[in-house]
Amino acid sequence: MRYAKRLDFTGTLDKQEWYSPSEGLYDQATKDLIRNQDKAELVIVVDRAYNCADPSQAHLVVDHINLTGDNPLVGPNDNAVGPRFPVVNNIYLCSADLIDQEETWSIGNPLGKLPTGIAAGVKAGVRLDDQEWQTVKGLGADFYCYNLVQCMILAAHRGLPVVGIALPEGAQLDEQMMIALVR
């Protein structure tokens, strides 16, 4: 079993098992949690997703586009945590990476069955109008989120892979998915 830092920005998951910031948005405490040097081997982030083509179910994030205009690593670098210029490619764990996990074999790896997509990270609270969304979609995004990108960059800096789950409004993680993520 791999120890993971589990972050929920939807406010819908069990607060005993998931860290959920009070405002539902990435904050300093989130940053500290990810940067904290502990035995974690990966970070699991569940973030609210907007404009998913299929709003009825969760999506597994395979890559992102940072349109927040910011980066959590701006400022002096702590070399003890990670390099000044982290390479952030291939940091998302996708279905192929997850399918062989012993912890989930008995329930058929529900994560591997999720549709996948590219998340655009936008400024928290900004709702894109149609024209803006068409532009962002035309640049390769499948949906947009507020918190996932910052978490992912921090995790990459720390050298941790990320499982990113984008959850549309109204959609919920089913029980088997929850078991897989908690395991």
Residues 137-149 as b or e (16 or more Cβ within 10 Å = b): beeebbbbbbbbb
- Between the alpha carbon of residue 150 and those of residues 29, 120, 179, the distances in Å are 13, 11, 25
- Residue 118 and residue 42: Cα distance in Å, rounded? 19
In angstroms, rounded to a whole number, what is the distance separating the alpha carbons of residues 1 and 40? Answer: 11
Task: Report the nearest approach of other proteins to the CB of residue 88 (Å).
Answer: 5
Complex with other proteins: residue 20 or 150, whichever CB lies closer? 150
Strand-pairing partners, residue 118, are: 63
Binding to other proteins, residues 127-156 (CB under 8 A): 128, 131-132, 135-136, 138-141, 153, 156
Of 12 and 116, CB closest to other proteins: 116
Burial class (CB in 10 A: 0-12, 13-18, 19+), 68: buried
Using the rule CB under 8 A, is 170 a contact of other proteins?
A: no
- Residue selected from 14, 106, 108, 123 as contacting other proteins according to rule CB under 8 A: 123
CB of 138 to other proteins, least distance (A): 7
Site for other proteins in 76-105 (CB under 8 A): 76-77, 83-89
Binding residues for other proteins (CB under 8 A): 63-71, 73-77, 83-89, 118, 122-123, 126, 128, 131-132, 135-136, 138-141, 153, 156-157
